Amino acid sequence: MKGIELIAQERSEQIEKHNRTIDNDVLLNNERQLAIAASGLLYEPEKEDAIPALQSRYIFQPYGWDTKIWEKMCEKSYKDRLVIAGALIAAEIDRITKQG
């Protein structure tokens, strides 16, 4: 499957399986949590990071998000995190478009 298809499939799953609708995002993710989550999932810690806390993408957990769900997302493979991040970016675009 191509990248765009994987992202579309993930976004569809977010909506249908997890009820992460545009309306819910307008209400619950109105502080850019979706974009923050996408960037956090793409973060790859450097081995040279002097501060141990910076060695974990968990520090990017969006405000109001369930810790266990966030950790599960962060533990996925790099490819899977890219797909999820792409779907979250699409969701953020939908959210800001709906908000006007």
pLDDT tens track for 77-89: 999 999 999 999 9
Mean pLDDT of 3-7: 97
What are the sequence ranges of the domains in the chain?
3-99
Q: Which residue has the higher pLDDT, 12 or 43?
A: 12
Tokens of 85: 């991040």
Place of tokens 């499939």: 9
Neighbouring residues of 53: CB distance < 8 A, sequence distance ≥ 6: 59
pLDDT tens figures, 13-61: 999 999 999 999 999 999 999 999 999 999 876 655 555 544 456 778 9
Let me know: does 73 contact 84? Beta carbons within 8 Å. yes
Task: Provide the phi-psi class of 66: left if phi over 0, else alpha when psi is between -120 and 50, else beta.
Answer: beta
Place of tokens 């990071």: 49
Q: Is 72 helix (H, G, I), strand (E, B) or coil?
A: helix
pTM: 0.87
CB-based burial, 33-52: b 16+ in 10 Å, e otherwise: bbbbbbbbbeeeeeeeeeee
User: What is the pLDDT at residue 75?
Assistant: 87
User: What is the pLDDT at residue 52?
Assistant: 54
